[in-house]
Amino acid sequence: MKPGQLQRISDYCYEIPRDARRGMRVPARIYANEEILRSMDDAVFEQATNVAMLPGILKYALCMPDGHSGYGFPIGGVAAVDPENGGVISPGGIGFDINCGIRLLATSLTLGEVKAHIQPLVDRLFARVPAGVGAAGEITLKGSKLDEAMTKGALWAVQNGFGVQEDLEYCEENGCMEGADPEAVSHKARERGKSQTGTLGSGNHFLEIQVAKKAGISDEKTARAFGIDRDDQILVMIHSGSRATGHQIATDYLQRFLSVQQRYGINLPDRELACAPLYSEEGRAYFGAMNCAINIAFLNRQLIMHRVREVFADYFKKSPRELGLRLVYDVCHNTAKLESHEIDGGPRKLLVHRKGATRAFAPGMRGIPERYMPYGQPVIVGGSMETGSYLCVGTARASESFFSTVHGSGRLMSRTQARKQFNGRDLQRSLGEKGIHIRTASFSGLAEEAGGAYKDIDEVVGAAFGAGLCAPVARLVPLGNVKG
């Protein structure tokens, strides 16, 4: 399916009709402007078409403006299924890094107070927060302690002195997903992940010091409600997930689903979409294991945030409260969640797969912190270390996407292409000359994350806004970055 063959629904929405290929149960919709659409690899359209064949899928298979090809689903893919009518759960619609997500901290510091200290601050963060492939944290979780962490998520951290109760209020699902089943997690997944909590990992994961400038604030009223209330305000963004725990859980259940899906009469064109009905033995087991990984990721980001608070408090010789270090929000990217959505004029419980996509609840919706209810859910859109990120907010118009929106800028190049085109050491040097201090565990990994390997985040957020999926609140500019 080429972009020219798509049906244009609006300036920011294109559709592959249901009759484009045999087996499609619903149309596939791509949210993008024309320029972004042309930049998408052909596999995006192929994968979106395949997703439209999932048993139980409703309305549309969706792809966000930051979409690019992934495993099974495109990254940026969204699909809602009806579990009461054979709806399936597919690890390929969630991703290997289950609950890869972002949390954003506000501070009361300004650029003038911090600018001269960016390099030593980033260096200290790099020393305190382990990053990179196989990085191990300061806490090892095993046995009953691991079971408890898988069940409680960020709550486990708070109960053990790594945070405050208020932190939980500003996490999606309050930092703890119900329905976790530690017994559904394999020994191998436990062993691989037991030492990785409190670590960044590799790839596009990062820990970044940022600044919100007045000129970059699109919605001052909402920005103030979210805690951005001054020009040149310093913020900290954390992007990490469930690490090896989630990767192994996805691997385990993909193999298990491949072996049983014929039993359920499921025959899809792509093995990477291996799935099972949610309310089957295998589907329930994966759902329970996936929720364990979701909670481990919440815990992971909570522990990293605790280290950030320690570093800032030690460096500036003030308490985190005196420094205004407050969690704005923590959002998930790679999940499948049971949610209530309007279908045919009435509420229905659906399983919403979001892979490289962010939940974007509208004002007044249940599940948003009370403080944010009049404004909508914060949506954190992570960009490249060169170009910056966005804080956005959910809108009522996003109902057509099951209240889902973009999660980042989205890749233009594969990691292999980026390594061929960019040099990590040169990139670190050039960014330093621009005033962005970078520390990395891998220069080849740094090359993969060059700004040129990603779409223009202003274009991506603009397309999401044009499609009604979210609204920009503030643009956040990078000052220093820790990369895996």
In tens, the pLDDT along 140-180 reads 999 999 999 999 999 999 999 999 999 999 999 999 999 99
pLDDT band at 131 (very low <50, low <70, confident <90, very high): confident
User: Is 390 inside a domain boundary?
Assistant: yes
User: Is 350 inside a domain boundary?
Assistant: yes
Domain range for 12 is 3-83+100-483
Instruction: Tell me the pTM.
Output: 0.97
pLDDT band at 382 (very low <50, low <70, confident <90, very high): very high
Write the CB contacts of 40 (distance below 8 Å, at least 6 apart in sequence).
Answer: 3, 30, 32, 67, 68
Q: What average pLDDT does range 89-112 have in this prediction?
A: 98
How many domains does the chain divide into? 1
User: Is 303 inside a domain boundary?
Assistant: yes
User: Is 89 inside a domain boundary?
Assistant: no
pLDDT of residue 3 exceeding 80, the answer is no
User: Is 462 inside a domain boundary?
Assistant: yes
pLDDT of 2 reads 54
The DSSP code sequence of 258-317 is HHHGGGGT---S-GGG--EETTSHHHHHHHHHHHHHHHHHHHHHHHHHHHHHHHHHHHHT
Asked whether 246 and 355 are in contact (CB, 8 A), the reply is no
Over the chain, what is the mean pLDDT?
96
184-210 per-position pLDDT tens digit: 999 999 999 999 999 998 888 999 999
CATH number of the domain bearing residue 218: 3.90.1860.10
User: Is 7 inside a domain boundary?
Assistant: yes
User: Is 92 inside a domain boundary?
Assistant: no
pLDDT of 4 reads 54
pLDDT of 271 reads 96
Active site residues: 407
244-271 per-position pLDDT tens digit: 999 999 999 999 999 999 999 999 999 9
pLDDT band at 351 (very low <50, low <70, confident <90, very high): very high
User: Is 228 inside a domain boundary?
Assistant: yes
15-71 per-position pLDDT tens digit: 999 999 999 999 999 999 999 999 999 999 999 999 999 999 999 999 999 999 999
